[in-house]
Amino acid sequence: MDMTLARTDFPAEFIFGAATAAYQIEGAAHGNCGVSHWDTFAATPGNVVNAETGALACDHYHRFCEDLDLVRAAGFGAYRFSTSWSRILPEGRGTPNRDGLDFYDRLADAILERGLKPYLTLYHWELPAALSDLGGWRNRDVAGWFADYTEIVAKLIGDRMAAVATINEPWCVSWLSHFIGAHAPGMRDIRATARAMHHVLLAHARAIEVLRANAIPKLGIVLNFEHANPASNSDADIAAAKRHDGIYNRWFVQALMHGTYPADILDTLAAHMPTGFNDDMAAISAPLDWLGVNYYTRSILRDAPRQPWPSLEAVEGPLPKTAMDWEVYPDGLYATLSRLKRDYTGDLPIIVTENGMASDDRIEDGTIADRQRIAYFNDHLAAVMRATNEGVPVGGYFAWSLLDNYEWALGYGKRFGLVHVDYETQRRTPKASYEAFRRMLIGDSGTISLN
């Protein structure tokens, strides 16, 4: 079970990394971490499968050295992680948590000691509950609160980072969490959504200002993209796919790169947007050093005229699916990267900051033969290579995820890791996909030393 691609198929400076996020692995019960809106969301019946929480997760808080050894032993050159706002500022503002600061200080050193490039994300979804009480992403003040938190992290570890992203997946922070209601805070309200869709970008803008003022290098943001296909050739279905594309893909990247929101989406959302939002667009579109792209799948949309705007629904596609029921569609990654360069990012470097799949992995005779995941990585890397061969400036690829972890509203049942985690014992077992990466990156001579 090997990748067909070789390390030498990519330029020597191309970065291969593994990615994680704080709440999904650390264990929020440890180290005087504050309560986040994910703790309260998960404590509310019906929100998360089996009411699972991030309280213990992968106990990375205590096991980060072992986990970083795994990153290095696979031959990865970089590690993407996030700091938890509620671990650093338990009340969201005010006095930092000494244990939290110490943890990230030690983590940054431990990443560097292993020769890995640290890629930091400042917000991967654990909004402090005290700020949620004040309206969270609906409140314009969130931008200032986020800037203050950013300043603390910048001063603590900013100068040790290879690159810093402000926010992970603004579509999830806003639409998934305030319109669909599937993520914390679980709202279903179009006005809340419009505000969150703007404030998340304003918070990004304020954080970039703080990071630039602190001379932190390589600043970006991480967006998720989902290739959108119409369910049929009808005008109605084509328009439905365009609406989905506008909300999911175009809204955020157009604001960041061109300083405007797509007119076809703003037509409806304008009535709910915060007053004076246009005055923020220059700050939102301030130059970045790179763009992070998370890509997993495509969606197929049809018109749903009896539903209120955006009047669309997803239909099941014919392609093989992952354990998330997501179609495996590497061409969508190629199409996304090519489109980004053509329509939005030009020569701005792109990093694929997440790509991977969940599967129903089982340990048999001490090994996990996750063949489908190896093929998934191989085919998506081939899509990246196709795009780079055509001149799209993709500088790196991070596998999601290093470890099996807390898959948000789906709890621990969906396993995305290169490394299997037994949540009872916290034992880590590298899967065949981990070994395939290791052989691709450093060959059979690379030895795994987990000291």
**Helix pair 330-339, 371-389: axis angle to 10 deg:** 30
Minimum distance from CB of 24 to ligand IFM (Å)? 6
The nearer residue to ligand IFM, 20 or 345, going by C-beta atoms, is: 20
The nearer residue to ligand IFM, 69 or 126, going by C-beta atoms, is: 126
| d(C-alpha 246, C-alpha 251), whole Å | 6
Binder to ligand IFM among 354, 361, 370, 404 (CB under 6 A)?
Answer: 354
CB neighbours of residue 106 within 10 Å: 12
The nearer residue to ligand IFM, 326 or 344, going by C-beta atoms, is: 326
- Contact between 352 and ligand IFM by CB under 6 A: the answer reads no
Instruction: Lay out the site mask for ligand IFM across 274-303 (x = CB under 6 A, - = otherwise).
Output: --------------------x---------
Q: Among all residues, whose Cβ is closest to ligand IFM?
A: 21
Q: Is 169 known to be catalytic?
A: yes
| d(C-alpha 181, C-alpha 235), whole Å | 29
Q: Report the site for ligand IFM in 132-171 (rule: CB under 6 A).
A: 169
Backbone conformation region of residue 366, classed left if phi is above 0, alpha if psi is from -120 to 50, else beta: left
**Helix pair 98-113, 60-73: axis angle to 10 deg:** 10
Using the structure block, give the residue that is written with the tokens 């001063």: 155
- Contact between 226 and ligand IFM by CB under 6 A: the answer reads no
The pair of three-digit structure tokens given for residue 55, joined into one six-digit string: 């309280």
Minimum distance from CB of 141 to ligand IFM (Å)? 25
Minimum distance from CB of 346 to ligand IFM (Å)? 25
Q: Is 26 known to be catalytic?
A: no
The nearer residue to ligand IFM, 147 or 358, going by C-beta atoms, is: 358
240: CB partners within 8 A, 6+ apart: 230, 231, 301, 302, 303, 304, 310, 311, 312
- Contact between 404 and ligand IFM by CB under 6 A: the answer reads no
Which one is catalytic: 126, 327, 354, 407?
Answer: 354
Binder to ligand IFM among 407, 415, 438, 439 (CB under 6 A)?
Answer: 407
Minimum distance from CB of 232 to ligand IFM (Å)? 28
Beta bridge partners of 204: none
167: CB partners within 8 A, 6+ apart: 121, 122, 123, 173, 200, 203, 204, 207, 221, 222
The nearer residue to ligand IFM, 230 or 332, going by C-beta atoms, is: 332
Which one is catalytic: 52, 169, 327, 435?
Answer: 169
Minimum distance from CB of 416 to ligand IFM (Å)? 6
The nearer residue to ligand IFM, 176 or 312, going by C-beta atoms, is: 176
Q: CA-CA-CA-CA torsion for 364, 71, 36, 85, nearest 10 degrees? A: 180
| d(C-alpha 398, C-alpha 402), whole Å | 9
The three-class DSSP label of residue 116 is coil
- Contact between 21 and ligand IFM by CB under 6 A: the answer reads yes
Binder to ligand IFM among 400, 412, 434, 437 (CB under 6 A)?
Answer: 400
| d(C-alpha 12, C-alpha 401), whole Å | 23
Instruction: Lay out the site mask for ligand IFM across 300-339 (x = CB under 6 A, - = otherwise).
Output: ----------------------------------------
| d(C-alpha 214, C-alpha 299), whole Å | 40
The nearer residue to ligand IFM, 127 or 147, going by C-beta atoms, is: 127
- Contact between 67 and ligand IFM by CB under 6 A: the answer reads no
Whether the bond between 310 and the residue before it is cis, its omega within 30 degrees of 0, is: yes
446 and 438 Cβ atoms separated by less than 8 Å: yes
Minimum distance from CB of 222 to ligand IFM (Å)? 9
- Contact between 26 and ligand IFM by CB under 6 A: the answer reads no
Minimum distance from CB of 420 to ligand IFM (Å)? 16
Minimum distance from CB of 407 to ligand IFM (Å)? 5
> CA of 159: how far to CAs of 79, 120, 154, in Å?
16, 11, 7
Minimum distance from CB of 38 to ligand IFM (Å)? 11
The nearer residue to ligand IFM, 39 or 237, going by C-beta atoms, is: 39
Could you tell me whether strands 163-168 and 117-123 are parallel, antiparallel, or unpaired per DSSP bridges? parallel
Give how many residues touch ligand IFM by CB under 6 A.
7
The nearer residue to ligand IFM, 303 or 354, going by C-beta atoms, is: 354
Q: Provide the sign of the torsion angle of the four alpha carbons 134, 140, 144, 146, taken in this order.
A: positive
Residues binding ligand IFM (CB under 6 A): 21, 24, 169, 294, 354, 400, 407
- Mind telling me the catalytic residues? 169, 354
